[in-house]
Structure formats: structure tokens, C-alpha cells
Amino acid sequence: MMVRVARQVHGRCVVALCAVTLTLAFQQVLVAQEASGVSEAALRAAAPAEWLTNGRDQAETHYSPLDQIDVDNVDELGLAWSWIIPKSGARLEATPVVSDGVMYATGPKSFVYALDARTGEKQWQWDPGIPDERQGGPSICCGDVNRGVALYGDKVFVGLLDGRLVGLDRETGLVDWTVQTTPRGADYSVTGAPRVVKGNVIIGNGGAEYGVRGYVTAYDAETGDQVWRSYTVPGNPADGFENEAMREAAATWTGEWWIVGGGGTVWDGMAYDPEADLLYVGTGNGSPWNRDTRSPGGGDNLYLSSILALNPDTGEPVWHYQTTPGDDWDYTATQPLMLLDLPIAGRDRKVIIQAPKNGFFYVVDRLTGELISASAFTDDLTWAIGVDVDTGRPIETPEARYGRTGQGVYLSPGPGGAHNWPPMSWNPATGLVYLPAQNSSSYYSKADEFEYRQGVWNTGLGRARREDRPERPELTGPRTVLLALDPITNTEAWRVVSDGAHGGTMSTGGNLVFRGSGDQLIAHDARTGDELWSATVGQGTATPITYELDGTQYVSIAAGRRVRRVYTFALDGLPLR
């Protein structure tokens, strides 16, 4: 069995994984994989040599125990191979996955490819041929991005911009099945990576800026048949409610919110706890953004900007925690979720953590939904002064509700959030979470008149001329910064100011944190934040991963805007030119 040792970190004891070679149990799992593809047992085991899911494990930690590359030799990393992604479009946001020596990932416009993970040689590629929006393609809020694929059995699963979910044959890339997960012609899109839970492929969607009703759906991995669908906000009461949760949620809305859909889309963060048998999803902003337009009588507008725990067999909600009640600012809670077991205040707690757009870092009991702690992680935060731990509600500033005051106002963070899609990572040896954070502000004002129109943004915000706005406050913090946070105390351990836009982070057993920043792939000492190595890979970095083949550990990331590539590094690699 894998050995566990106790170490003292910051004056307390945390559990750290110290074995990095495959145990007999893992070897048995891999043998089973070779015979039948990626199994449920393999997903749960999360063998160190592979990267089978978006976050490497179902807890979405983005942590690998591999330690061949460590703080002492990371400066010897060189390029093992690279591969040009033959598809243009928006920035790269995908986290690759690796199984049986093959890497699977996505590029712009839902382009899918499979590469030999040893050499970078192309195994196959698949282009769904989705046109741009101006050529009749789907309406897309924030670029034709895609965050990756899921593996299960003998298939690769990918969500497409036009709302389809597709099962591809792992060996050939040929389409096995396809299903339309969204209404044809509606303003939905899919940019997130699917997850597989108990033989079902779980997928959400985006589109709240345009005006849609959010939901998450499970499809049978073998056939593509729909197993269940769970809505995140209530529909028209005259049509009845899908379940009691939607009936209760409707009591927190007013007016005719269903005309514009309400929002609450599930476009990114998910996690699964097999012991508790709970599926966790994060929900998005309201549609329109302005609450006084979509719900003129006020209300919390459940389940916008919330963490939801669902029964994975039925999709029925078990509990919820709303990070931003009555969201007025596009402060989604769709950002990456992570499951940890932590000793907090003398108790062993099973928690779910999240750093959503609103600027607070949340530690929540993942069995009950009870808030344990919430602290600001961003330097510029003016919409609230804190979170009341007893009620779980933010303490809003008087000027934050611009719809009620009738006064436009600059607030921090802006709609891009204090943290967005780039994944954070965890290291059990240091007890720290590595978060790519940012500081921003934006001007919010309520539109004097609002009329819903399909195919365009329906935010309900005003368009005040610059000369009619107050002076924009100067930011007090850096535009982007890497934070190391202690989730037990909910405090900052160290920070590194960044020079460019964030990619995601990944931590390893070699006491390293790898991250994309600007045009660089950077390795930091996980304990101190000291920069130990970097390589120029191109602007628009995605999220790094690591894996091991034939005794060699590799680190890989997709990056670049003008020329998009997958870069893979190893200790015996060549200098990057």
C-alpha cells in the first residue's frame, strides 16, 4: 500500500504522500485499463504516472506525487518534444489528460487531438468544423475556447461550442455517438471539460450573458442516452417545477425572470466525492446581470452563484451554499472546485474549497454545506467588506447595489473576477493551495430601459459615457499574482507578483509549483515561492500537467496565440530555442 507520513508544516501536522512508484494495486488497475479502457476504479485510484481527469484526481487537486523532477534539478529541464496545434481561434484553456502513453486534449473551436505522450507524434485529430458566430455559428460570450476532454472505457468525451456532447473512439478518433445537450438555435454554448461519474458523462453549458436557463446533464457513457437533467434556477411557475428544490428556489425570485432564462449556467467547476457519493458543481451569474431587472422585488435568486451538491444518480440537489446571494455583478461560482480533508479547529473536516470571482476564498463542509471560513484573497475588493461566518452571507458595502441606489459605481473585482477559469492546485506536503489571482475594477450601472433580444448580450447594465462616470479608482494590488494560501487558517503564506495573464497551476511531489504566466511556463519552490526555472512558450498559457513513462517524468503545457503548441519537458530534454 502507499506509505503516508506525518510532517510538521507551519507548526501543525499534515498528511503527505511520499511514495511515487506504482504499487501492486495501481499496477493491477493499469492492467485492467489495458483490457477495458479507463475504468471507474482507475479514475478513483488516480495512478501517479498518469493524468486521467481534468484535475488528475476526482477531488480536482491538480497535484501529482511524482518527484523525479524536484527543487534541486528542475533547472535541468529541457524540451522533450513539441507539436503545433493546427487550429486557430481564441486562447488555449485546456488541461490535457494522459492514459496508456497517449495524451488527449482540445484546442480552439472544440478541436480534439491525440498524441504519443513520449514523442508528440500525432495519433489522430478531429475537427467538428464549427463556424464562427459571424458565419452562423453559436453565440459565445468569451471566446471559442475549450477546457478539455474526459476519458472512460474506450472513449474520449468532448463538449462542443454548438452544445453537442460527443463520444469519440480512443484509438481512432472516430465519432461513436453524439447528442445535442442544448436547444438548437438557442444562445447556449459548451466550453467546459466533461467529467465522468459512475458511468455517466456530466456536462453543463454557458450562455447566461445572452439569456438562458442553466442546467447540468448526465449522459450514459456507452450510449449517449440522457440519464438525468438538473436545473439550477426555476422556470416559469405556470409550467410546474421539476423538483422541490426548484419550487423552493422560486420563492427567492420575483417578476417574470424566466423570460430571459435567469442564468445560473454550469460552465466549468465540478468535483466528485466517491465516499460521500456526491457530485459538486458551481453555478454562474444571473441573466440579466442586474438583479433589479431580472428580479425587481429583490431576493437571493437561488441557485445563482452557488456551490451545489447533487445526488449523482438522479441529479437531485442535496445541499447548496450561495457565495453571492442575489448576484448583481457577474460574480460566478463556476470557478474550479477542490475537495480536501483537513484538520480545522481540532476536528478532521471534509471540505470543498473555492475561490470564485467575488474575491473571497471559501472553505465549506462538503457533507453538509456549512460555511467554515471565508476570507478575502484579492487586494482590491470593494463590493463587500467580509463574509459573516454565522449566516454565510457577504457583508455588502452601501454602494454595491447600484440598481437600488440608482448610482453608477466602480466596484472591485470587475466581471472578470478576482479568479476565473485557471485551476488552482494543492500540495499535501506544504499544506498550501496555489491560486492564480488578479485585481480589477469595473463600472456598474443599471440600464434605464431593458428589452430582451435573442442573440445579443442581455446584461441589464447601462452604457454611461466615460465623461459621465466618476474617476476610476487606482488599483492597490498587482494586476495578476500567484498566491499560496493556507486553507486551514484561510490566510496567505506567500505571493509572487506576475507579469502577464494567468494560466493554471499544478503542484508536484518534488515540492514544485508549475504555472503558466504571460508567455512563460514557470516552476516555483512550493514552500517559498522562489522561481527556480522558466521557459518561454508563448502568450496565452493553459494549464500544465505531469506524467511518467518508461521511468521519465514529463511536464506538459499548451500555449501560444499566433502559433499554438503543446510543449513537453523532461530532465534529459534539449534547450528551448
Cα–Cα distance between 361 and 93 in angstroms, integer?
A: 22
- In the chain, what is the straight-line distance between the N-terminal and C-terminal CA atoms, in Å? 43
Q: Which residue type sits at 188? A: Y
d(CA 13, CA 228): 42
Query: Cα(491)–Cα(314) distance, rounded to whole angstroms?
Result: 37
Phi, psi angle pair for 565, to nearest 5° = -135, 160
The yes-or-no answer on residue 268 being catalytic is no
Torsion angle, CA of 22/485/494/508, rounded to 10 degrees?
10
Q: What is the CB neighbour count within 10 angstroms for residue 91?
A: 20
Residue 451 has a CB neighbour count (10 Å cut-off) of 6
Query: Around 147, how many Cα atoms within 13 Å sit in the side-chain half-sphere?
Result: 28
- Rounded CA-CA distance 203/64 in Å is 25
**CA distance linking residue 168 with residue 151, whole number of Å:** 10
Query: CA-based angle 413:417:420, to the nearest 5?
Result: 160
Query: 433 - beta bridge partners?
Result: 426, 485
CA–CA distance, 204 with 308 (Å, rounded to integer): 13
- Which H/E stretch holds residue 291? helix 291-294
| Whole-angstrom distance, CA of residue 80 vs CA of residue 66 | 18
Which residues 6+ apart lie within 8 Å of 314 measured at CB?
Answer: 228
Radius of gyration of the chain (CA): 22
Query: Residue 89 corresponds to which cell in the numbers above?
Result: 481561434
Report the distance separating Cα 367 and Cα 388, nearest Å.
20
From 300, 330, 380, 519, the catalytic residue: 330
Neighbours of 33 (CB within 10 A): 21
Within 13 Å and on the Cβ side, how many CA atoms surround 101? 11
Residue with cell 453565440: 139
Closest CA to 86 of 109, 59, 104: 109
Asked if 547 and 575 count as a contact pair (C-beta separation under 8 A), the reply is no
What is the number of other CB atoms lying within 10 angstroms of the CB of residue 27? 12
Q: Which residues lie below 8 Å from residue 56, measured CB to CB, with a gap of 6+? A: 46, 62, 63, 64, 545
Q: Are 447 and 461 in contact (CB under 8 A)?
A: yes
d(CA 230, CA 194) in angstroms, rounded, equals 15
Residues with catalytic annotation?
Answer: 330
